[in-house]
């Protein structure tokens, strides 16, 4: 029965009927589909945030999962609907870069969806999530071959995630990608940016965020005194600034987009 899971990652929020109508449009094509919410609270129109959300979740799902990713400020324009296959899974999304982090990590085949007979009979100009993408996901979950939906393309939109800047061998400048529910700051710094830390005798580290200097690297959130702010390599694969049972964002007075300086040694 693998192959009938359809996940949803959108900026549609929870207060409207939009997600419900999409679920209906999937189930109307395939009542056996298993619709799973990943996240609907991506900031409206924020393609980078949508890209981040799906990139943090897709790899934990089983082979043949179908991921619908709908952050679609260009709905109704000429931006194309895409179907993307990787070795294991399938993605359906608008051609606006929201799958960029998937493109960066996976071998993909990208199709431009043009087979309108898989869409709702009447397609609005304002809600392709319901009228185009949801029914396509429904048909995919009924094992229709990806190649039936359109021709492969190579000129799809993609962007590079904001990378930290190397000022010199010892100094790096990164940025806060997002603040999570716990007030933890997720930066764009990865272990690959800081190979020195994996050395046998790692150098000391100083992290500057807002007006605060952090020198402590922990290995779990619960180390140290309650409220203490520290750095940690997080479950996301990024360097995080966190606090034990408290909000680092609040403690430091910084949020998304804040600069993060790293000085080694």
Q: Which of residues 160 and 235 has its CB atom nearest to a second copy in the complex?
A: 235
Smallest distance, a second copy to C-beta of residue 142, A: 13
Using alpha carbons, list the distances in angstroms from residue 222 to 48, 229, 246.
30, 11, 10
- The whole-angstrom separation of Cα 245 and Cα 48 is 28
Is there a contact between 136 and 83 (Cβ–Cβ < 8 Å)? yes
Is there a contact between 12 and 44 (Cβ–Cβ < 8 Å)? no
E strands, the chain, are 5-10, 34-39, 66-70, 81-85, 90-94, 109-113, 150-153, 165-166, 171-179, 185-187, 205-209, 212-214, 217-218, 229-233, 239-243, 259-264
Please report, for the chain, how many H helices and E strands are present, in that order. 6, 16
Which residues from 197-236 bind a second copy, rule CB under 8 A? 219-223, 232, 234-235
Q: Which of residues 23 and 173 has its CB atom nearest to a second copy in the complex?
A: 23
Smallest distance, a second copy to C-beta of residue 153, A: 20
* Binding-site member from 84, 130, 146, 252 for a second copy (CB under 8 A): 130
Smallest distance, a second copy to C-beta of residue 32, A: 6
Smallest distance, a second copy to C-beta of residue 170, A: 27
Q: Stretches 10-18, 103-111, 159-167, 202-210: which one binds a second copy (CB under 8 A)? A: 10-18
Pairing assessment for the beta strands 109-113 and 239-243 based on DSSP bridges: unpaired
Q: Which of residues 34 and 148 has its CB atom nearest to a second copy in the complex?
A: 34
For position 73 contacting a second copy by CB under 8 A, the verdict is yes
Q: Which of residues 77 and 114 has its CB atom nearest to a second copy in the complex?
A: 77
Which residues from 81-120 bind a second copy, rule CB under 8 A? none
3-state SS assignment for residue 236: coil
Q: Which of residues 88 and 170 has its CB atom nearest to a second copy in the complex?
A: 88
Q: Which of residues 165 and 245 has its CB atom nearest to a second copy in the complex?
A: 245
For position 250 contacting a second copy by CB under 8 A, the verdict is no
- Residue 106's CB is within 10 A of a number of other CB atoms, namely 17
Smallest distance, a second copy to C-beta of residue 34, A: 8
For position 191 contacting a second copy by CB under 8 A, the verdict is no
Kindly tell me the sign of the dihedral angle through the C-alpha atoms of 221, 227, 230, 234.
positive
Q: Which of residues 1 and 154 has its CB atom nearest to a second copy in the complex?
A: 1
* Binding-site member from 6, 51, 70, 75 for a second copy (CB under 8 A): 75
Query: Considering CB under 8 A, how many residues would be counted as binding a second copy?
Result: 72
Smallest distance, a second copy to C-beta of residue 163, A: 21
Smallest distance, a second copy to C-beta of residue 169, A: 28
Gyration radius from the chain CA atoms: 21
Q: Say which residue the tokens 């260009």 belong to.
A: 74
* Binding-site member from 6, 40, 239, 252 for a second copy (CB under 8 A): 40
Q: How many CA atoms lie within 13 A of 220 on its CB side?
A: 2
């Amino acid at each position: 029965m693998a192959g009938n899971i359809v996940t949803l990652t959108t900026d549609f929020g929870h207060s409207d009927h939009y997600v419900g109508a999409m679920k209906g449009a999937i189930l109307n094509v395939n009542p056996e589909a298993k619709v799973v919410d990943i996240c609907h609270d991506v900031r409206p129109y924020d393609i980078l945030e949508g890209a981040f959300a799906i990139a943090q979740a897709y790899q934990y799902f089983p082979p043949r999962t179908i991921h619908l990713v709908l952050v679609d400020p260009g709905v109704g324009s000429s931006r194309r609907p895409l179907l993307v296959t990787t070795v294991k899974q399938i993605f359906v999304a608008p051609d606006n870069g929201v799958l960029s982090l998937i493109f960066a990590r996976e071998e993909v085949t990208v199709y431009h969806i043009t087979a309108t007979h898989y869409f709702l009979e009447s397609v609005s100009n304002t809600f392709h999530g319901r009228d185009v993408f949801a029914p396509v996901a429904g048909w995919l979950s009924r094992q229709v071959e990806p190649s039936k939906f359109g021709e492969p393309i190579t000129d799809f939109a993609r962007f590079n995630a904001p990378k930290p800047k190397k000022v010199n061998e010892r100094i790096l400048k990164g940025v806060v990608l997002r603040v999570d529910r716990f007030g933890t700051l997720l930066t764009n710094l990865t272990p690959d940016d800081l190979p020195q830390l994996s050395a046998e005798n790692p150098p000391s580290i100083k992290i500057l965020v807002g007006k605060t200097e952090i020198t402590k690297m922990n290995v779990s959130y619960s180390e140290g005194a309650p409220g203490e702010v520290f750095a940690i390599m997080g479950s996301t694969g990024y360097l995080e600034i966190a606090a034990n049972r408290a909000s680092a964002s609040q403690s430091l007075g910084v949020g998304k987009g804040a600069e993060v300086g790293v000085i080694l040694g």
